Amino acid sequence: MHVIDSHTGGEPTRVILDGAPELGSGSLTERASRLATEHEAFYRSVMLEPRGQPAMVGALLVEPVDPTCVAGVIYFDVDAVLGMCGHGTIGLTVTLAHLGRIGIGQHRIETSAGVVTVNLHDANTVTVTNIESRRVRQGVTLNVAGYGQITGDVAYGGNWFFIVDPSPIPVEPANIRELTDMTVAIREASITHGVGGEKGEPIDHVIFQDDSPDPSVHSRNFVLCPDDNYDRSPCGTGSSARLACLAADGCLAPGQEIIQQSVIGSSYRLSYQPGPNGGIIPSITGQAFVMAEANLFFDKDDPFRNGIDT
């Protein structure tokens, strides 16, 4: 299996160029569903140690249905097939440029959540214009085991988020373990109490927002991903969901740019425009760097061929 690894703000992306299972024809949504239901062992083996690493997201290149798109992609982590991935799209764009498949300028990429537009500014810098994002519920209070009542907003940015602002724990690297434990408990509570999307979609990410001591930075966040690892980047889909909340609250004007920082200090530049269906169209600018190009082997005699699942 031929792969290229990159990171976006410290968050790794593994682009799979060939060697993946055949997912057949149909829409990206249909093919993503086949990956999730028929090939779980495959995608977990790519993400789990010893081949993968915590927080890594896979980006499986597939043929797009839309002929205006330069690529189709299905995103996944070790625990779930994802609708969209912001940091992964930045990493994928830089990888496609590294391969000579695209050049500087604007391109369209098809995901199972919809078509997104990317603008490659240089070898490392990309702006993603994401799908329309929206806040679904405001001020939802959950009874969280071990923590009591926690209130947050439910929003969609390509994945489903429960956003707590302000964070009950300072968003600092020293608190990552405590932040992780609390956000895992919040997600479990949201699922238990049926808090999620309009059609019952479960919460898959939790965000804690915090102020930044740097006046040039709008805020810092901690983002829990479906695999219970934290996002090293500020999370593209999470930033999109947060922009939708800020817009709904009248706290950020269309076109106004802010800097969102992650718990480890990496940053995105964010802004939005009004969407056609009452939501917002987010713009996310970040940087990715290619780290490795490799062939993965799956020896039938390897006792950890399918990864270490502990």
**Which residue is catalytic, options 69, 85, 225, 245?**
85
| Dihedral class, residue 37 (left if φ above 0, else alpha if ψ from -120 to 50, else beta) | alpha
Q: Half-sphere exposure (CA, 13 Å, Cβ side) for 139?
A: 2
Q: Distance between CA 287 and CA 98 in Å, rounded?
A: 14
Q: CB 70: neighbour CB atoms within 10 A? A: 14
Amino acid code (one letter) for 79: D
Query: Can you tell me which residue has the tokens 């160029």?
Result: 17
Q: Half-sphere exposure (CA, 13 Å, Cβ side) for 80?
A: 16
Nearest CA to 26 among 68, 59, 72?
Answer: 72
| Cβ neighbours for 205, distance < 8 A, ≥ 6 positions apart | 159, 160, 161, 162, 187, 223, 224, 225, 226, 235, 237, 238
**Which residue is catalytic, options 69, 225, 235, 245?**
235
Alpha-carbon radius of gyration of the chain? 18
85 assigned to active site: yes
| 3-state secondary structure (DSSP) of residue 270 | strand
Look up residue 28 and give its two tokens: 């990206």
69 assigned to active site: no
Sign of CA dihedral 16, 18, 19, 24: positive
Phi, psi dihedrals of residue 75, rounded to the nearest 5°: -95, 150
State the catalytic residues.
85, 235
